[in-house]
Amino acid sequence: MQVYISNYRNHWISPYTILDWVFFWTDWSRCSRWTLEQRLADENRENSEWVDHPAWVDQWADRLEPISRFVNRVLDTIHPRITYVKIDRWDTWSMDSTLAAIVLPMLRQLQDTKHGAPNVDDEDVPEHLRSTTAPPKENEWDVDDNHFARWDWVLAEMIYAFEKKNQDDWTAEFHSGVPNMTWTPVDAEGNEVACGEHRYFRMDRGANDTHVYDEEGAKKVQDRISNGFRLFGKYYEGLWD
């Protein structure tokens, strides 16, 4: 697999930006305002005044907008965002593992850099994180105090699932002891037969077998992994920064 995805392109040039730079010496241009802010950087900013642009600037901005849109379309055409993905045959032999190696570092980065959170249903999080356990909201349009904590919890569960998927064998921690198995030749009905007359084997634990498998513990982990993948699918469109 080969993947190259470039940064997002931003070719829009605002008509007001053009006018600001053309008339850079005026008090109302953004260039002058930047200079003023720099001069007052170590002074009381309350003394700085924001100078509005004249009315004729709006008129010229309307005239320049078609030109700005045309320049934007031209630049989008000659300098588009690059999205190159090449899939090899072996990438789909175990596609779930291939994708897990890509998704995991992206989820970790999103966890560190996110600036918001989508709505998460109460049914998907522990009771102490649900909206019903948060203090009453001051306004109907406000988010509750657990809003962001719910998303943090969901992201952590996704990451946990993909971390386990990237391990060679996460079930190894639930095995202990030394296995010792014997193989006995049997017929189709399970009756023991002489060697050479069999079509099947019966596997039995040998006298020195000390192997123990914590099935209950492994099931708890598997349930958590499966739930993490379920959350990944349900909130896939919420994976934004």
Domain boundaries, the chain: 2-83, 93-174+214-238
Q: How far apart are CA 211 and CA 197, in angstroms?
A: 31
Element (H, E) at 203: strand 200-205
Closest-CA residue to 188 (of 174, 175, 198): 198
pLDDT of residue 184: 85
How large a percentage of the chain has pLDDT more than 70? 90
Please name the residues in contact with 122: beta carbons below 8 A apart, sequence gap of 6 or more: 130, 131, 132
Full DSSP string of 135-168: PPPSSTTSPPTTHHHHHHHHHHHHHHHHHHHHSS
Is 184 in contact with 205 (CB distance < 8 Å)?
A: no
The structure's pTM equals 0.75
Give the strand pairing for 200-205 and 181-186: antiparallel
What's the token pair of residue 21? Answer: 């730079």
pLDDT of residue 49: 64
Better pLDDT: 81 or 162: 162
Which whole number is the average pLDDT over 154-166?
98
Would the CA dihedral through 87, 89, 95, 101 be positive or negative? Answer: negative
Under the banding of pLDDT at 50, 70 and 90, the label for residue 39 is low
Average pLDDT over the chain reads 89
